[in-house]
Structures are given as structure tokens and as C-alpha cells.
Amino acid sequence: MQIITNPAEMQAIAEKLRLQHQYIGVVMTMGALHEGHLSLVKLAREKAGTVIMTLFVNPTQFGPGEDFHRYPRPFEQDAALARSAGVDYLFAPSTEAMYPESYSTMIDPGPIATRFEGASRPGHFSGMATVVVKLLGITRPHLAIFGEKDAQQLTVIRRVVADLNIAVTILGAPVARESDGLATSSRNIYLSSDERQQASVLYRAIRYAAEQIEQGRADLDAIASEAEALVNSEPDAQTGYLSFVDEATFEPAAKAAPGKACRLIMAVRIGSTRLIDNWRFEFQ
């Protein structure tokens, strides 16, 4: 595995790979790698001849008071995991390399980015979309794989790629989960042992909603309210949002509609740690 830190060097390598007719897959991360990231690499290895992983803690997608400065950065461990997973190139630029002093361009992803995560974290999706477009331009992949855990992020990326006519296939990969159903996340390490036990309520709420829908209930607002009450029954849990949404627009979905797909999305604080999760439902 080759580690690259210079954007121009990475771009030149990607261009050479394309001229050699290599099919390039990219997995974008902020490091602190876990099984979820490695499952994306495994999928990329199955789909692509060359796999590039980007490792960059992007400051423009963190808001004031968020965890940018304490976000885990175990670079040597991450590099070892990337190498063992079969990554060919690890692109790990500095903040200065990605955002030189003269940098001024930011992307506005539109209405999708103003709801839920966008409302909770103003500016987050602008920063995320900007760095994704930059990384696509630097790594020049044919395929980019993103986890469905960040479902709204995935929807925003698909919208931006379509709107800007970027020639890349965006593939969503299923949420990787721990034994009790909690979605794997770099932020899970912030949880105390007691908080970690309480955090399993996110998946229990998803399963509750699934059971209600399997029983034929169509009032999604009511199911969401009941699932939110279940989450908030844990002493250290506080729901930021919990709602069914149209997966293409992220507008709220109040009723189940035959032939339609939606997602149950949630953001929950367990103590001081903010966790997100979602589940896709398809109605017959």
C-alpha cells in the first residue's frame, strides 16, 4: 500500500491508473477505522481493480462546539488496517493541502441539506459536499462507496454528483452493526460502559417500528412517536429527531404508501455522545 499526502501526486497517480484502464474504487473516511469502514473496502475490492482510501478529518463539516479537535486520529493503526484490508493507495492529506490559505469555494447542496442533520448541524452538508467533490476530483474514481448509516449524507452526495454531472457511480453499502444491533461508528468509543448498554435502544426502536409496520399499521407519525418514547425511556438518552422520511427528498413521511420506500432516521444523544441510525422500509 502506498501512502500519498500531496493532492497533485494523488491526482497524477489516478490519471495514470485510468490510462492503464484500471477501474478505480474509492472509500472516503475520516479515519478511526472500524468494521464498517472495512466492509466498504471489502465491497470496493470486489468491484474495482484499484482501491483508494481517503483519510481526512474535514474541518469544514464540523460546527462550533462539535468534536473536531478531539475526533480520534490513530493514523498508524488506521494505516495498518487499511493495508490489511487490501487498500492500494491511502490518500491522507493535511488540512493545509486541502484548504490552502486562498481557498474560498464551498458547495450549497440545496433543500435536502437543510433538513434533520442539516438543521441540527448548520453548514455540515456544505462542508461535507465540498470535500467529497474535491476528493472525487483528486482520486478520479469510477466508483465511490459510502455507508448507508449516514443516509442523508448519501442522498446529498447523490444529488450533488447528479447536479454537477460528475462521472462517478455512487454505491451505498448496508449499515454495519455490532452484536446488539448498534451501528458501528468511530464515536462509539466515547460511550462509557453504561452508556454503551443504553445505546442499544436505537436498534430496539428500529425493531419496534419494523414490528408495527409488519402488523399492517400505516400511521408512521404515531409509530415514530412511540419509538421516540422508547428511546427516551433510557435515563441518559435524548432524541434530537426521530422521523420517517422519503428517502429521495428527506421530507417527512406521515403515512405508509404502497410502492413507496422510506427511511426511519434518528439522531440521539447518549450522555454527551451523539449517535445516528436509520432503517429502510419498502411498502408493498
The interaxial angle of helices 124-139 and 7-19, nearest 10 deg, is: 50
Residue pLDDT, tens place only, 163-192: 999 999 999 999 999 999 999 998 999 999
- What percentage of the chain reaches a pLDDT higher than 90? 90
Residue 236 labeled ligand binder: no
Cβ atoms 251, 260 nearer than 8 A = no
Geometric angle at alpha carbon 138, from 135 and 142, rounded to 5°: 85
Give the three cell numbers for residue 235: 435515563
Distance separating alpha carbons of residues 247 and 218, to the nearest angstrom: 17
Query: Do 16 and 137 fall into the same domain?
Result: yes
Domain count, the chain: 2
Amino acid letter for position 275: L
Query: Do 118 and 216 fall into the same domain?
Result: no
Q: Which of 128, 143, 173 is the last residue of a domain?
A: 173
Query: Do 73 and 109 fall into the same domain?
Result: yes
Amino acid letter for position 123: G
The secondary structure of residue 22, as a DSSP letter, is P
Query: Do 26 and 160 fall into the same domain?
Result: yes
Distance separating alpha carbons of residues 243 and 270, to the nearest angstrom: 18
Query: Do 270 and 169 fall into the same domain?
Result: no
In the prediction, which pLDDT does 247 show? 86
Residue 37 labeled ligand binder: yes
Active site residue 37: yes
Q: List Cβ<8 Å contacts ≥24 apart for 73-79.
A: 73/31, 73/32, 74/31, 74/32, 75/31, 77/33, 78/29, 78/31, 78/32, 78/33, 79/1, 79/3
Quote the distance between the C-alpha of residue 189 and its chain's center.
Answer: 17
Helix (H, G, I), strand (E, B) or coil at 2: strand
Query: Do 76 and 129 fall into the same domain?
Result: yes
16, HSE (Cβ side, Cα atoms, 13 Å): 6
Residue 159 labeled ligand binder: no
pLDDT category at 251 given cuts 50, 70, 90 is: very high
CB-based contacts of 256: which residues, under 8 Å, 6+ apart? Answer: 213, 217, 218, 220, 262, 281, 283
* Segment holding 19, helix H or strand E: helix 7-19
Q: Round the average pLDDT of the chain to a whole number and report it.
A: 95
Geometric angle at alpha carbon 82, from 80 and 87, rounded to 5°: 130
Residues 187-220 as b/e (b if ≥16 CB within 10 A, e otherwise) read ebebbeeebbebbbbbbbbbebbeebbeeeeeeb
In the prediction, which pLDDT does 259 show? 74
Q: Which of 138, 173, 208 is the last residue of a domain?
A: 173
Query: Do 19 and 78 fall into the same domain?
Result: yes
Query: Do 152 and 206 fall into the same domain?
Result: no
Query: Do 245 and 116 fall into the same domain?
Result: no
The domain in which residue 41 lies consists of: 2-173
In a domain, 31, yes or no: yes
Across 216-222, average pLDDT: 94
In a domain, 179, yes or no: no
Query: Do 21 and 125 fall into the same domain?
Result: yes
In a domain, 284, yes or no: no
In a domain, 272, yes or no: yes
CATH of the domain at 261: 3.30.1300.10
CA distances from 275 to 15, 147, 182, 196, 201 (A): 38, 15, 10, 11, 11
CATH of the domain at 132: 3.40.50.620
In a domain, 15, yes or no: yes
In a domain, 66, yes or no: yes
Residue pLDDT, tens place only, 122-142: 999 999 999 999 999 999 999
Query: Do 52 and 160 fall into the same domain?
Result: yes
**Hey, which residues does 276 pair with through a beta bridge?**
267
* Segment holding 159, helix H or strand E: helix 151-163
Query: Do 72 and 94 fall into the same domain?
Result: yes
Cβ atoms 172, 199 nearer than 8 A = no
Residue 153 labeled ligand binder: yes
Residue 134 labeled ligand binder: no
In a domain, 260, yes or no: yes
Give the three cell numbers for residue 76: 498508524
CA-atom Rg of the chain in angstroms: 19
Q: Which of 146, 173, 200 is the last residue of a domain?
A: 173
In the prediction, which pLDDT does 282 show? 87
Across 200-216, average pLDDT: 96
In a domain, 267, yes or no: yes
**Hey, which residues does 24 pair with through a beta bridge?**
50
